Amino acid sequence: MPYRAPLPYAPDAMIFAARGADDAASGAKLAAAYAAARNLQPGGQALSATNRACVVIPPGRYKLASTLVLDAQYVDLVALVPQMGLPLAAGEADDVGFKGHGTEIYNADGDHINTIEQAVTDVRLVGFAVVNYDLSKSAFLVTAAHNAPSLYDRMTFWRDRGGGSEKFPVGAENHFSGTWFSCVANGWAYRQSFGSTGDFRPVMYDCHGGKNAFIGDQGNGAVGARLERCRAGIQSFGGCASYGVPIDADSVLIDCTAGERSFALGKACAGTFIRCRGGDTSFGATVSQYYVGEFSGHAEDCYAGKNSFGGRKAGVGANGKCTGELLRCRSVGSDLALRLEGAKIRECLLTTTAQDEDGVVLVGGLSKILDTTILVFLGGTGVPINDDGSARSVVCAHCRLNNATSDADGVGPNVTNLIASPANVVDDDMDW
């Protein structure tokens, strides 16, 4: 994690937002403080990335009469008492419950405005909440071409969702970038606007969102993104109901958690995933015949529900595949066999539960399966490692397989194991 240095502001670089008699008066004073900060010249020098101005916001509620547009480079908003919002509660799959914040900038239902818009690339927001109680607009929206130099630290973004999904607690019209620490939002956060053609390429640590959060289903997907210890609900990290967006080979996700249909649903899932967890049909899975997923990345110590890592849901009529690397990963109870094409599987647990369904099916390339447990429905005709109707070869050693009554060595009759003495164990008492 990058070092979080103290924010350097000289006394002549700061303007305090005064509190008013009520929330609306406080909001007006906040807008006036920002307008004044735009004209500061700390130390007699023009504003720059190393000579910044700051609006200091005391605790309280600030109601805006119009959108606060951040249109000046290097002018930051910092809470006098920075505070992280409430993280996603255990078992709270859909949304983060907003229960108040010490410093809150908001607009009311019926205002029909975005609360704050960022129109420049380099700002810093620290320690307060941005809240939109109007479901027709976003709470915080980046309208600049990108926000790569920007920093967001201990921010809370909340929007009254109502049932609409067209606006976000926090999102971007173009590229979604910047560095984010310990931010909290509810559903549909940290993603690009509908119709966006930009990339999702931030660096994020310890951020939380509700369902359909992170990356989204618009734009080019994750391109060189790095996310660590981020958490969301269902259909997140490039997921949605039917399809999401790709996660490219330069993206790294570590200790990230989401629900079902997450991590590049119906698309290429090519990133590196370390200790990540997803629900059913995650990590390049397929749930629609029109959007076929593929897991071509590297997953290590990851856990997913059934039909994951390039797997597919029963009855879809389309075939995904796994062409990547799985190390100490787990996906159990799948409806259909996982299709492998030149994949590398090591120390994993893969199971199918449908009668007469194979465990994995070789569809091309030379897959290598080592020290892995692959189990199928006992008593059916399924084979742990089988072919797709064409003669296939595999490297398979030190694996634990079952259903010996269907195939004595657990490898289909049309499959050639290139290991002469594989030391596999085929035992119908094998269980996970």
pLDDT digit string, tens, across residues 357-375:
999 999 999 999 999 999 9
88 has pLDDT over 60: no
In 329-432, the DSSP E strands lie at: 330-334, 338-341, 344-346, 349-352, 360-364, 367-370, 373-375, 385-387, 392-397, 400-401, 415-417, 425-426
pLDDT at residue 92, rounded to an integer: 45
CA distance 401 to 396: 11
**Mean pLDDT value of segment 302-317:** 95
CA distance 121 to 145: 7
pLDDT at residue 94, rounded to an integer: 47
pLDDT at residue 90, rounded to an integer: 46
Confidence of residue 196 (pLDDT cuts 50, 70, 90): confident
pLDDT at residue 165, rounded to an integer: 53
pLDDT at residue 87, rounded to an integer: 56
- Per DSSP bridges, beta strands 298-300 and 321-322 are unpaired
2 has pLDDT over 90: no
User: How many percent of the chain have pLDDT more than 70?
Assistant: 93
Confidence of residue 432 (pLDDT cuts 50, 70, 90): low
Which residue intervals of 46-88 are DSSP H helices? none
User: Minimum mean pLDDT among 63-77, 183-197, 390-404: which range?
Assistant: 183-197
Of the two residues 282 and 102, the one the predictor is more confident about is 282
pLDDT digit string, tens, across residues 225-282:
999 999 999 999 999 999 999 999 999 999 999 999 999 999 999 999 999 999 999 9
pLDDT at residue 174, rounded to an integer: 94
91 has pLDDT over 50: no
pLDDT digit string, tens, across residues 111-170:
999 999 999 999 999 999 999 998 889 999 999 999 999 999 999 999 876 444 557 899
Calculate the average pLDDT of the chain. Answer: 92
Determine the longest span between alpha carbons in the chain, in angstroms. 85
97 has pLDDT over 60: no
Confidence of residue 407 (pLDDT cuts 50, 70, 90): confident
CA distance 57 to 400: 61
User: How many percent of the chain have pLDDT more than 90?
Assistant: 82
8-state DSSP, 43: G
pLDDT at residue 429, rounded to an integer: 83
CA distance 101 to 131: 10
Confidence of residue 89 (pLDDT cuts 50, 70, 90): low
**Taking the model in full, what pTM does it have?**
0.95
Residue boundaries of the structural domains of the chain: 1-224
* CB count in 10 Å sphere of residue 390: 9
